[in-house]
Amino acid sequence: MKQLIMIVFLFCATLCCADLYAQKKGQALADSFLTELNTEHFKNNDDSNKVKLLSNLSFTYSHINPDEGVKYGQQGLDLANKLQWNKGAAMANSSLGNCYLGRSDYPKAVEYFREVLKTDQETGNKKGVINVTTNIGQAYGQQGNYTKALEYFFLALKMAEETGDKTAVASNTCNIGSVCQMQQNYPQALEYFMKAIKLSEDLGDKQALIRATINIGTIYFWQKNDEKALEYDFMGLKMAQDAGLSVAIAKCYANIGNVYTDQKNYTMAITFMLKGLKIDQEIKDKYAEGFLLKNIGFAYLEILHDSTFRSSHSASLTKGSGELSSGPYKPDETIPAGKAARIQKAMEYLQQALSIAKDINQLDIQMDCYEGISEVYQLKGDLKNEILNFKKYSAAKDSIFSKDNTQQIAKINAENEYNLKHQADSLKTDAKEKITALQLHRQRSYIWFGVAGIALLMGFSFFLLKAQRRSEFERKKSDELLLNILPAEVAAELKSTGISEAKYFDRVTVMFTDFVNFTKASELLTPKELVNELHTCFKAFDEIVSKYGIEKIKTIGDAYLAVAGLPVADPHHAENIVGAAVEIVAYMKTRQAKIGDKAFEVRVGIHSGNAVAGIVGVKKFAYDIWGDTVNTAARMEQNSEAGKINISETTYELVMGKFSCQYRGEIDAKNKGQMKMYFVS
According to the model, what pLDDT value does residue 91 have?
A: 93
C-alpha span between 521 and 80 (Å, rounded)? 43
Could you give phi then psi for residue 563, rounded to 5 degrees? Answer: -145, 145
**Residue 396 contacts residue 370 (beta carbons within 8 Å):** yes
Nearest to 60 by CA among 105, 114, 14: 14
> What Rg value do the Cα atoms of the chain yield, rounded?
31
What single-letter amino acid sits at 618?
A: V
d(CA 548, CA 92): 62
Long-range pairs for 25-28 at CB < 8 Å and ≥24 separation? 25/246, 25/283, 26/60, 26/63, 26/64, 26/282, 26/283, 26/284, 27/64, 27/284
List pLDDT tens digits, range 569-622: 888 999 999 999 999 999 999 998 888 888 889 999 999 998 888 775 545 566
The rounded distance, in Å, linking the Cα atoms of 344 and 351 is 11
Question: From start to end of 468-588, where are the E strands?
Answer: 503-515, 551-556, 559-564
Amino acid at 88: G
Q: Identity (one letter) of the amino acid at 304?
A: L
Amino acid at 605: G
Per the omega criterion (within 30 degrees of 0), is the bond before 336 cis?
Answer: no
Query: How far apart, in Å, are the Cα atoms of 411 and each of 396, 403, 405, 417, 557?
Result: 20, 12, 10, 10, 16
634-656 pLDDT, tens digit each? 999 999 999 999 999 999 999 99
Nearest Cα to 486, choosing from 558, 552, 419?
Answer: 552
Q: How is the chain split among helix, strand and coil, in percent rounded to 5?
A: 70, 10, 20
Of the candidates 553, 582, 583, the one whose C-alpha atom is nearest the C-alpha of residue 565 is 553
Considering only the C-alpha atoms of the chain, give the largest distance between any 2 of them, rounded to a whole number of Å.
113
CA-closest candidate to residue 299, choices 333, 262, 253: 262
Q: Counting runs of H as helices and runs of E as strands, what totals does the chain give?
A: 27, 8
Residue spans of the chain under pLDDT 70: 1-26, 310-332, 399-502, 616-622
Cβ-in-10-Å burial (0-12, 13-18, 19+) of 256 comes to buried
CB 544 within 8 A of CB 580: yes
Of 4, 628, 531, nearest to 262 by C-alpha is 4
Say whether 454 sits in a helix, a strand or coil. helix
Residues 6 or more apart whose CB falls under 8 angstroms from that of 366 comprise 354, 357, 358, 392, 396
Cβ-count burial 645-658 (b if 16+ within 10 Å, e if not): bbbbebbbebbeee
How far is Cα 445 from Cα 449, in angstroms, rounded to an integer?
6
CA 498 to chain centre: 37
DSSP 103-141: TT-HHHHHHHHHHHHHHHHHHT-HHHHHHHHHHHHHHHH
- Count Cβ atoms below 10 Å from residue 68 Cβ, excluding itself: 17
Angstrom distance (rounded) from CA 649 to CA 676: 6
Q: How much is the pTM?
A: 0.54
- Asked if 246 and 32 touch (Cβ cutoff 8 Å), the reply is no
Which are the contacts of 519, defined by CB distance < 8 A and separation ≥ 6? Answer: 144
